């Protein structure tokens, strides 16, 4: 029966949809193929209903926005109908880790359970695949700055003799953050394409070819939108033949799409180009120019541009930069010096392909810098994007960011009819999808929400402590730690402390170290930045009573089940910083339309982010825990009610004794079970 259904054409009629409903009831039922294939599988009404809605969208080539509460099992809810009836399917996930999980575990499990004869492929950005040309060049040049890199290069060289995919995720001996990866992978600018002597063996091309031929292709959001913007990831070749496109963790799309539909040019890009121009010039055209002299002028101009802002961290819209600032003359100087270097490269380009490549890169950087050739004060170009600068300790970035991605994304969805599924645990605010649909341009598209199967009323407690100062006060983080310590003790550790800033992470870590030592508390302390996220989480799970302090990267995509995590503390409501130039421009644009920037943009965005953080607590039917939100605005402000009503329906308290009683009863039930 399944094999026959798999052959049904897209756009099936209503009676066929009903057949799908009956089949899905069977597939997600008690004695089902999924039940036999998946350990601990239990039928969940919300999962089955979501699968039916997705099957219906596939049959009618519709769009569906699908919010699935934690524990619904949304991955299987979209995999089953898409593997059976989706045709050529592209699944886009939030992270590369989720990509690997889908490709290596979830899809093979469902495919085997259904007996579905579909082929699957994994496609990542080119920076994830070792490049034969750049590896060979690095082995010959030996431009390595550390002993670690020398060892890592040796490991990569060995890996290349045995790997079939060239995917650096397979080589755990070399950290993903190792700088040597930049020397042995290609970028769009440094790829030789069909001219490369290793083209036939290229892992990027091989991955793209496999994706072309596969029924199901797993990508990630960065790759999908980089392709839409740059046409450099292989997704552009897949899109015309795709029948079904599924975005998992779809709440991340507005931010990811904004990143790629905008443009960023950095002084680091200029300095990297200078480094390569010097190396290629000396290698292939030593007598053609005074390469060191040519390059040093551009390098100096790039560094002088950075130095026009004396502070370490700066974020300013272009109209906030003083007219008398040295920034604008320094930008013109950089453009002039870069043009001079491009002229030299043009004269020598015939002498080597790599010199021509440097010339092309130089022209592209110059073109992007020209976007900044605007009269001062022109913040919004055609009412569509904002120009702003961001300074770091050693580089300056010039950004051009769209105010709304909706018109750009809608243009991508025009044309061939196909199914678009947007799914996540956090897309709505109190069952209202307006914020998300406005961001993505999905007006009037059907949106549904399926509740979590968890019994939040008995499994969890929302605790908002009394007596905390306003979140903008200097002593706020210390007050949070003072309020959190007795709760951490009552829980016996097993806590996440999620902060909204890195500064708060560092201060909280400093205070907790002191307090744990002074009070002789036996809780291992783990802090974001001291090790990679995966390593910290592995250590956290293994310890069983640890306290982990993290910022944004721990608010989502983290799954710790059981007793290892029974307390999630959130220091502040996660509002975007009010001085953010893009946020300020978006609020201004909304208010010009007569809307309230805070209520229509800042508040719903903060609620969706908070729902992600809160979602770390209860991950299973047997989990129990306390969600502690320290921000007094949750109670004091009129909008506070809207926030807590959007959270899971926990019991609520402001009393520390109620929290202690909750943890005591949890401990009692664990002891009884043992």
pLDDT given at position 143: 67
> At 627, is the pLDDT very low, low, confident or very high (cuts 50, 70, 90)?
very high
In eight-state DSSP terms, residue 576 is P
Of 99-103, 412-416, 530-534, 631-635, give the range with the top mean pLDDT: 631-635
Order of strands across the sheet that contains 447-450: 120-122, 216-220, 89-93, 244-247, 419-424, 63-68, 447-450
On average, the pLDDT of the chain sits at 88
pLDDT given at position 382: 42
Tokens 């053609």 — which residue? 288
Task: Tell which residue, 344, 302, 620, has the closest CA to residue 459.
Answer: 620
Q: How far is residue 381's CA from residue 589's CA, in Å, rounded to a whole number? A: 12
What mean pLDDT do residues 219-244 have?
79
Task: Tell which residue, 567, 557, 564, has the closest CA to residue 496.
Answer: 567
CA gyration radius for the chain?
A: 27
pLDDT of residue 231 exceeding 90: no
Q: Choose the weakest-confidence range: 32-36, 121-125, 371-375, 407-411.
A: 371-375
What mean pLDDT do residues 77-88 have?
96
pLDDT given at position 496: 97
Q: How far is residue 453's CA from residue 70's CA, in Å, rounded to a whole number? A: 8
pLDDT given at position 650: 96
Task: Tell which residue, 135, 12, 144, has the closest CA to residue 85.
Answer: 12
pLDDT of residue 548 exceeding 70: yes
> At 338, is the pLDDT very low, low, confident or very high (cuts 50, 70, 90)?
very high
Tell me the β-bridge partners of 122: 218
pLDDT given at position 310: 83
What mean pLDDT do residues 371-395 have?
69
pLDDT of residue 532 exceeding 70: yes
pLDDT given at position 15: 39
pLDDT of residue 438 exceeding 80: yes
In this predicted model, what pLDDT tens digit does every residue of 43-53 receive, in sequence order? 899 999 999 99
pLDDT of residue 6 exceeding 50: no
The arrangement of secondary structure in 263-402, i.e. its CATH architecture, is Orthogonal Bundle (1.10)
Identify whether the C-beta of residue 502 lies closer than 8 Å to the C-beta of residue 552. Answer: no
pLDDT given at position 397: 94
Q: Choose the weakest-confidence range: 219-228, 430-439, 628-637.
A: 219-228
pLDDT given at position 320: 87
pLDDT of residue 337 exceeding 80: yes
pLDDT given at position 125: 86
pLDDT of residue 346 exceeding 70: yes
State in words which class domain 11-124+207-257+407-450 has. Answer: alpha beta
Q: Choose the weakest-confidence range: 173-177, 265-269, 488-492, 659-663.
A: 173-177
pLDDT given at position 533: 83
Which residue has better confidence, 108 or 98?
108
pLDDT given at position 24: 93
Every domain of the chain with CATH number 3.40.50.300 lies at 11-124+207-257+407-450, 456-673
Q: How far is residue 300's CA from residue 133's CA, in Å, rounded to a whole number? A: 31
pLDDT given at position 17: 46
Rounded to the nearest angstrom, the gap between the alpha carbon of residue 346 and the centroid of all alpha carbons in its chain is: 39
pLDDT of residue 8 exceeding 80: no
Every domain of the chain with CATH number 1.10.275 lies at 263-402
State in words which class domain 456-673 has. Answer: alpha beta
625-629 and 314-317 strand pairing: unpaired
pLDDT given at position 260: 85
In this predicted model, what pLDDT tens digit does every residue of 487-510 receive, in sequence order? 999 999 999 999 999 999 999 999
In this predicted model, what pLDDT tens digit does every residue of 632-653 receive, in sequence order? 999 999 999 999 999 999 999 9
> At 360, is the pLDDT very low, low, confident or very high (cuts 50, 70, 90)?
very high
Task: Tell which residue, 117, 57, 53, 128, has the closest CA to residue 83.
Answer: 117
């Amino acid at each position: 029966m399944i094999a026959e259904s798999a052959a049904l054409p897209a756009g099936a009629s209503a009676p066929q949809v009903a057949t799908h409903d009956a089949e899905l009831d069977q597939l997600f039922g008690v004695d089902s193929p999924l039940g036999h294939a998946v350990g601990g599988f239990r039928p969940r009404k919300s999962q089955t209903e979501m699968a039916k809605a997705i099957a219906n969208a596939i049959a009618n080539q519709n769009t569906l926005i699908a919010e699935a509460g934690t524990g619904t099992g949304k991955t299987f809810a979209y995999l089953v109908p898409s593997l059976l009836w989706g045709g050529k399917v592209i699944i886009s996930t939030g992270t590369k880790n989720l990509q690997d999980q889908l490709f290596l575990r979830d899809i093979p499990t469902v495919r085997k359970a259904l007996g579905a004869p579909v082929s699957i492929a994994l496609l990542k950005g080119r920076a994830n695949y070792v490049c034969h040309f750049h590896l060979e060049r690095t082995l010959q040049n030996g431009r390595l700055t550390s002993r670690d890199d020398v060892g890592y290069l040796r490991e990569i060289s060995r890996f290349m003799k045995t790997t079939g995919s060239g995917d650096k995720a397979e080589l755990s001996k070399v950290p993903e953050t190792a700088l040597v990866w930049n020397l042995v992978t290609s970028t769009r600018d440094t790829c030789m394409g069909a001219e490369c002597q290793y083209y036939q063996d290229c892992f990027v091309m091989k991955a793209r070819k496999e994706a072309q031929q596969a029924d199901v292709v797993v990508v990630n959001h960065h790759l999908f939108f980089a392709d839409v913007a740059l046409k450099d990831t292989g997704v552009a070749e897949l899109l015309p033949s795709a029948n079904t496109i599924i975005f998992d963790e779809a709440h991340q799309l507005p931010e990811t799409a904004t990143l790629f539909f905008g443009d960023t040019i950095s002084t680091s890009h200029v300095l990297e180009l200078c480094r390569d121009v010097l190396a290629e010039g000396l290698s292939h055209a030593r007598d053609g120019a005074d390469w060191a002299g040519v390059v040093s002028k551009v390098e100096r101009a790039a560094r002088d541009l950075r130095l026009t802002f004396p502070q370490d961290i700066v974020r300013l819209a272009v109209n906030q930069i003083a007219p008398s600032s040295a920034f604008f003359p320094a930008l013109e100087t950089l453009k002039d010096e870069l043009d001079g270097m491009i002229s030299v490269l043009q004269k020598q380009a015939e002498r080597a392909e790599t010199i021509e490549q440097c010339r092309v890169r130089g022209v592209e950087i110059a073109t992007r810098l020209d976007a900044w050739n605007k009269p001062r004060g022109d913040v919004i170009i055609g009412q569509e994007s904002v120009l702003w600068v961001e300074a770091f300790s050693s580089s300056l970035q010039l950004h051009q960011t769209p105010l709304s991605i909706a018109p750009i994304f809608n243009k991508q969805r025009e044309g061939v009819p196909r199914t678009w599924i947007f799914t996540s645990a956090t897309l709505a605010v109190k069952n209202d999808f307006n914020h998300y649909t406005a961001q993505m341009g999905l007006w009037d598209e059907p949106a549904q929400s399926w509740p979590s199967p968890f019994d939040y009323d008995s499994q969890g407690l929302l605790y908002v402590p009394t007596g905390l100062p306003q979140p903008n006060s200097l002593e706020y983080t210390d007050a949070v730690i003072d309020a959190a310590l007795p709760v951490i003790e009552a829980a016996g550790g097993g806590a996440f402390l999620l902060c909204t800033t890195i500064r708060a992470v560092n201060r909280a870590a400093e205070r907790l170290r002191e307090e744990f030592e002074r009070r002789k508390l036996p809780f291992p302390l783990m802090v974001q930045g001291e090790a990679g996220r995966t390593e910290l989480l592995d250590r956290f799970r293994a310890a069983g009573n640890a306290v982990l302090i993290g910022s944004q990267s721990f608010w989502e995509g983290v799954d710790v089940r059981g007793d290892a995590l029974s307390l999630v503390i959130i220091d502040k409501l996660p509002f975007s910083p009010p001085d953010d130039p893009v946020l300020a421009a978006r609020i201004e644009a909304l208010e010009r339309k007569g809307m309230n920037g805070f209520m229509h943009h800042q508040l719903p965005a903060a609620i969706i982010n908070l729902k992600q953080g809160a979602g770390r607590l209860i991950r299973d039917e047997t989990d129990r825990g306390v969600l502690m939100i320290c921000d007094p605005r949750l109670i004091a402000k009129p909008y506070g009610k809207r926030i807590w009503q959007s959270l899971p329906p926990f019991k609520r308290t402001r009393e520390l004794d109620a929290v202690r009683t909750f943890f005591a009863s949890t401990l009692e039930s664990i002891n009884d079970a043992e």
